[in-house]
Structure 1
Amino acid sequence: MSQKYPDVKAESAAFDAEVKAIEKWWQSDRQKHIKRPYTAKSIAALRNIGFKTDYPSSVQGRKLWKILNEHNANGTYELTFGTTEPLIAKEMAKYMQTVYVSGALCGHSQAAWPGEDHADYPADTVPSVVKRIFNSQLFQDQRQTQLRMRFSEEDRRDLECIDYMLPIVADADMGFGTLTGCMKLARSFVESGVAMVHIDDLAMGLKKFANGEGRTIVPTSEYLQRLTTVRMTFDIMGYYLPPCMMLEDKEQFINSVVDPRDHPYVLGATKVVPSFLQALATGRESGRDYLAVKKEWKASAGLMTFDDAVKSQADSEDQYKSYEAEVKGKIIALQDRRAIARKITGKDIMFDWELPRLPRGQYMWQWCTQAVIDRAVLAAPLGDVTWSRQDKPNKKDMEDFHSGVRKVFPNRLFAFGYTGAYDFVKAGYTEQEVETFPADIAKQGVVWQVQPIWATQGLSLHAKQFAEMFKKEGIAGYMRNVAKPAIEGMATDKYGKPTSRGGYLADAFFDVVDGDEITEVA
């Protein structure tokens, strides 16, 4: 049997050296702001000691980190969009610094069975798309290098010299379930060549779009476990860039009240009424609409948070202020809040968060900017970039969120995603403010900005317009409207040959195998 170590002392020495190397790495300028809830010894014990793998993701992660911090220092930003298509990523390299791969877009275009943004596609879907784009980046870089080396320095000044190796940011959705599932997903991303992933705080399988229910988040503790799992996996692999976190905006439900940090925002009934489930059953029997029943029930139940219930049932403003002084800014579970309220008001405050529960068990949730800030502050030490999803560009929410997090972490980096349905005018923005919006939020630290699912609008629109033209004008229209401008805009060498053709690289392989040198063109 082959022995890995000659004796246990050699094994201990190798382990101790690994621990010291990890501790030194964690104290570097790049890593020291990350707060890990585990030790270097634990990570060393989970590593393949003596078999180090250098992942391209680390190179791309460091490159992205440099890009983002330069933008932060300069008050500028990177604005990019999402794609699943390598040929589109190739063209993006001429104008963008990064590429984004959206889970929603992959679900629409890459899954065997397409679907909406439910993360119900196989867990390896997005990593496989990242890998394909990353491989195409390597190909384009390789093709360009060997081509340029065939020309003199003087001629190369007029040739394209594009950095095709754009860092890829990818969507890890909800981590795909279990702790080990999340760990395997993170590993797949690192092996794919990704530069950064983001992972959100939504509950698996409870994302609604069309029935008025919206999104459901997980408890704070579960979200922190997801982030810690990704961070742990990256540390085990020696990967350099921690995850970006996405915190959902305007969520309506939470699937568990296990974490007292969430209790201030859970809604409960303050009146004695039948449960929401009973109201739904009665409504169905009479053929009433779900949303109408829900709206009526919420009004009849006096739905509010426990703190608001105390305020509404206290005998005086002073009573509530006394209660507020004991709970504000502290982690206090509902049971203890009840006791404090009883001591101060002399009443058992009517509040029942079980009555509003939904058919799938979720509790109703009171969204507010402070709730998102609370989570962002707790999650920040595990990653580098914070992303709060906002379906509508509310001015006050934007300012309050980013300034609120930066009060705790003054140099925090942020990401922001633009949906395709933003109505800036309805949100109170002038046309000039829309023009300067990306630059304005960059001043708040929003250094990475993305339109995540451009293909569902932009690419679809272009395809529709082309199909209509092609139907009417045929191949003559194609030559006139597509081929001619494409050829005219194509980079060529001094002999008029397109430089982007992969045939150059294939021919180079033949030449080298035959013993011919890749030399300057005569």
Structure 2
Amino acid sequence: MYGWNFSRCFNKRHYSHDLQNVFKEEVKKVNEWWATPRFRHIHRPYSAEDVVKHRGSLPLEVTRYPSSYQAQRLFQLLDEKFHKREPLHTLGVIDPVQMSQLARCKDIHVAYISGWACSSTLVGSTNEVSPDFGDYPYDTVPNQVERIFKAQQMHDRKLMLEKLGPHKKEIEETNYLKPIIADADMGHGGTTTVMKVAKLFAEKGAAGIHLEDQLVGGKRCGHLSGAVIVPTSTHVSRLVATRFQWDLMGTENLLIARTDSCNAKLLSSSSDPRDHQYIKGVINPQAVAWSEILTQLESGATESTAIAEAETEWYEQNKIMTFDEAVEQQVNRDQYDTYLEKKANKMSKLNRVYLSLAEMRKLAALAAPKQQIFFDWDKPRTKEGHYMFQGCMEAAIGRSLAFARYADMLWLETKTPDLKQAGSFASTIHNVYPEARLVYNLSPSFNWSSHGYTAEALQSFIWDLAKHGFILQLVSLAGLHVDALSFWQLARRFQKDGMRAYVEQVQRIEKAENCDILTHQKWSGVEYIDSLSKVLDGSSSHTSSTSGDSYTESQF
């Protein structure tokens, strides 16, 4: 969006002096850009000077990214919907076909691309498909974004030609350029890798991405067990790195901070005091660390089944708990109430929602001076060194509040579709950040029929959720499930009924539903390419792909 003109400097005798003037001008432009309504809620722990001096000499005017234009549209949509408390809901697509059908839905304004779907259906450079463990090359989802975005542009050009071409057909108004929101998983590495991933998404057409607070190498789908989350500060660093990369590029892409801490059981490090109150330990001084026992078992060539049994036995014998729970177990009721009161007063005095383990130990000692409180969070650590973590709504709220200053939207990953839970989360967040836009995963992993919703409640769920500020809502794997279901229904019947099955389950329904894939040649853009050929080589209708007896779609 902004870039300096170095040609002014290269031909001047006082190069250094003039360069400094240009630098100051560019810094001023960046500061003015950051002061626009687009970034009114965004905090940056770096300066405009930091951005400008890392941009290089190539003017940004020559590298404008379409994704930034799409991001502006997405921001406007979110702004409008948030103030009306209306949903911006969509379905995850897995290919250009689904994208083109989504585009024809006037009340769906954005498209979504899932990392889970890419991991399981889209072969990247490794030609491997796998579960959603985030172990595929980090350009896999950006490349899918590029595929979808280029298809959007192709269909948009095709539509414009139909509207402005020689026949000027009266056709259905369709917005093929719906902003794309994509899954960036956990960023796939340290801050420089996160920056590269963010750069790829911006280059390839994503208007927005979401980053989750899981560990690289310990990532799991949010609805699987075994996920490892990173310290709060680590994920903040990812969010800052992403924003910095986009500032270098001069783009306005949107960033969603997702937390999986509501259901997480493992934490990669105890480095951030904001996480301390949720780390679990043992209160038995005689307990031998599980990692020591495991090392002995493995060095003795113990079978894996025996190791698994030993692990289960260890955790049964050594109950794990948070520090607060450990205090409760080792003092009397009055002392514990005193501890909680001191803890609340301390947090209020410090204007914080957390205390470090050291701070909590001191308060426990004051509350129960004659009682030695034992608590060890190292003994239960896993083989990889991960800490036991108490995933809960309180943890998710704390992390979301920490992420809010750096992100455009906040995503709460849940294990059930719970309106009451969502409303409680939203209320707490909005008490601190009233303008926070929230995101909800309408996941197919939920058995929606088992949660007591009536048909009417299911129909209104999205709109009820939007009233709480959950504006962006998505069925992340809708495309995957629909693709499998429809093809399974056809294949199962086709094996016995042949073409009757195809005609009855595909062609007749396509025609009745006005599905434009019925005429797939036209859908693909063959008329657009014919028009290009006529412009370039003046070809006649006799050589056109869409003329003559060979053009079978004229049958429709």
Say whether the fold is shared (TM-score over 0.5): yes
User: Could you list the per-position Cα deviations for residues 271-329 of structure 1 after superposition, in whole angstroms to 9, with x for gaps in the alignment?
Assistant: 23233345667999598677765555444323211122223322342432443245445
Cα–Cα, structure 1 residues 21 and 208, in superposed 2: closer, same or farther, change >3 Å?
closer
Structure-1 separation of matches of 2:221 and 2:179: 31
- Greater alpha carbon shift after TM alignment, 437-446 vs 415-424: 415-424
Give the Cα separation in 2 of the matches to 1:117 and 1:332: 34
Which residue in 2 is equivalent to 1:142?
157
Offset of residue 452 of structure 1: 0.9
Paired residues for 1:246-285 under 5 Å: 246-248=258-260, 249-272=262-285, 273-277=287-291
1:75 aligns with 2:85: yes
Alignment of 1:437-456 (within 5 A): 437-456=461-480
Which residue does the alignment assign to 2:355? Answer: 332
Distance 1:251 1:64 in 2: 31
Contact 2:490 2:505 survives alignment (8 Å)? no
Tell me what 2:97 maps to. 87
SS at match of 1:391: coil
Q: Distance in 2 between matches of 1:179 and 1:290?
A: 36
Deviation at 1:32, TM superposition (A): 2.2
Question: Which amino acid in 2 is paired with 1:147?
Answer: E
Superimposed CA distance per residue, residues 155-202 of structure 1 (whole angstroms, 9 cap, x where no aligned partner): 52xx11211001000000010112111111100000001110000000
Structure 1 residues 501 and 173, CA gap change in structure 2 (3 angstroms): closer
How much has 1:225 moved relative to structure 2? 0.3
Tell me, in whole angstroms, the C-alpha distance in 2 between the residues paired with 1:21 and 1:5.
23
Aligned-partner residue type, residue 14 of structure 1:
V
Q: Summarize the alignment of residues 69-468 of structure 1 with structure 2, pairs less than 5 Å apart.
A: 69-95=79-105, 96-111=108-123, 112-150=127-165, 156=170, 159-207=171-219, 213-248=225-260, 249-272=262-285, 273-277=287-291, 296-317=313-334, 318-328=337-347, 330=352, 331-346=354-369, 347-424=371-448, 426-468=450-492
Q: Distance in 1 between matches of 2:342 and 2:215?
A: 33
* 1:29 maps to amino acid: P
Task: Rate the CA distance shift 1:74–1:499 in 2: closer, same or farther, 3 A.
Answer: farther
1:33 to 2:41 alignment: yes
Whether the 8 Å CA contact 1:147–1:499 is kept in 2: the answer is no
CA contact (8 A) 1:15 1:49 kept: no
Q: Which moved more, 1:323-332 or 1:182-191?
A: 323-332
SS in 2 for 1:30: helix
- Work out the CA distance in 2 between the residues paired with 1:87 and 1:51: 37
After superposing the two structures, state which structure 1 stretch, 169-178 or 432-441, moved more.
432-441
Residue 260 to residue 408, structure 1, CA distance change in 2 (3 Å): same
Query: What is the distance in 2 between the residues matched to 1:297 and 1:429?
Result: 41
Provide the rounded CA distance (Å) in 1 between the counterparts of 2:451 and 2:96: 36
**Match in the other structure for 2:24:** 16
Q: What do residues 182-227 of structure 1 show as CA deviations (whole Å, max 9, x unaligned)? A: 1111000000011100000001111458998521100011000000
Q: Distance in 2 between matches of 1:278 and 1:170?
A: 42
Counterparts of 1:166 and 1:336 in 2: how far apart (Å)? 50
Measured after TM superposition, the shift of residue 433 of structure 1 is: 2.7
1:344 offset after TM fit, Å? 2.9
1:212/1:291 contact within 8 Å kept: no
Equivalent residue of 1:500, what SS? helix
**Structure 1 residues 445-454 or 307-316, which shifts more?**
307-316
Identify if the C-alpha distance between structure 1 residues 328 and 433 changes in structure 2 by more than 3 Å, giving closer, same or farther. farther
Could you tell me which residue of structure 1 aligns to residue 544 of structure 2? Answer: none
More off after superposition, 25-34 vs 280-289: 280-289
SS at match of 1:197: strand
Do 2:133 and 2:221's aligned partners in 1 also have CA atoms closer than 8 Å? no
The whole-number CA distance in structure 1 between the counterparts of 2:346 and 2:372 is 17
Q: CA deviation at 1:340?
A: 2.7
The structure 2 residue matched to 1:57, chosen from 41, 45, 67, is: 67
Whole-angstrom CA distance in 2 between matches of 1:134 and 1:5: 41
Identity of aligned residues (%): 29
Cα 1:503–1:227 change in 2 (3 A) is: same
SS of equivalent to 2:246: helix
Unpaired stretches in structure 2, ≥5 consecutive residues: 1-6, 540-556
SS in 1 for 2:498: helix
d(CA) in 2 for partners of 1:337, 1:497: 66
Residues 345, 233 of structure 1: alpha-carbon distance in 2 compared, 3 angstrom cutoff: same
Report the counterpart of residue 519 of structure 1 in structure 2. Answer: none
Q: TM-score, normalised by structure 2?
A: 0.85
Describe the SS at the equivalent of 2:474.
strand
| Further displaced range: 393-402 or 160-169 | 393-402
Deviations 1:400-445 (A, max 9, x none): 2111111111121111112223134544544443332111111011
Quote the offset at 1:395 in angstroms.
4.2
Q: Whole-Å Cα distance in 2 between the matches of residues 183 and 408 of structure 1?
A: 29
Q: 8 Å contact 2:410–2:437 — kept in the other structure?
A: yes
Work out the CA distance in 2 between the residues paired with 1:211 and 1:189: 25
**Residues 504 and 13 of structure 1, relative CA distance in 2, 3 Å threshold:** same
Q: Is the 8 A contact 1:341 1:348 kept in 2?
A: no
Cα deviation for residue 97 of structure 1 reads 1.3
Q: Secondary structure at the match of 1:239?
A: coil
Whether the 8 Å CA contact 1:102–1:453 is kept in 2: the answer is yes
Distance 2:303 2:247 in 1: 57
Of 51, 56, 63 in structure 2, the residue corresponding to residue 43 of structure 1 is 51
Structure 1 residues 118 and 321: alpha-carbon distance in aligned structure 2, compared to 1, 3 A threshold: closer
Q: 1:414 and 1:143, CA in 2 relative to 1: closer, same or farther beyond 3 A?
A: same
TM-aligned CA deviation for residue 398 of structure 1: 1.7
Counterpart contact for 1:101–1:168, Cα < 8 Å? yes
Rounded Cα–Cα distance in structure 1 between residues aligned with 2:332 and 2:520: 85
Aligned residue number for residue 545 of structure 2:
none
User: Could you give the per-residue CA deviations for residues 92-136 of structure 1, whole angstroms, max 9, x where no partner exists?
Assistant: 101121111111111111121111111111111111110111111
Structure 1-normalised TM-score? 0.90
Q: 1:393 to 1:479 in 2, by over 3 A?
A: closer
In structure 2, distance between residues paired with 1:486 and 1:431: 27
Structure 1, 420-429 or 136-145: larger mean CA deviation: 420-429
Q: How many residues align?
A: 510
Distance apart, 1:509 and its partner CA? 0.9
Is the contact made by 1:130 and 1:193 (CA closer than 8 Å) also made in structure 2?
A: yes
Which 10-residue stretch deviates more, 117-126 or 8-17?
Answer: 8-17
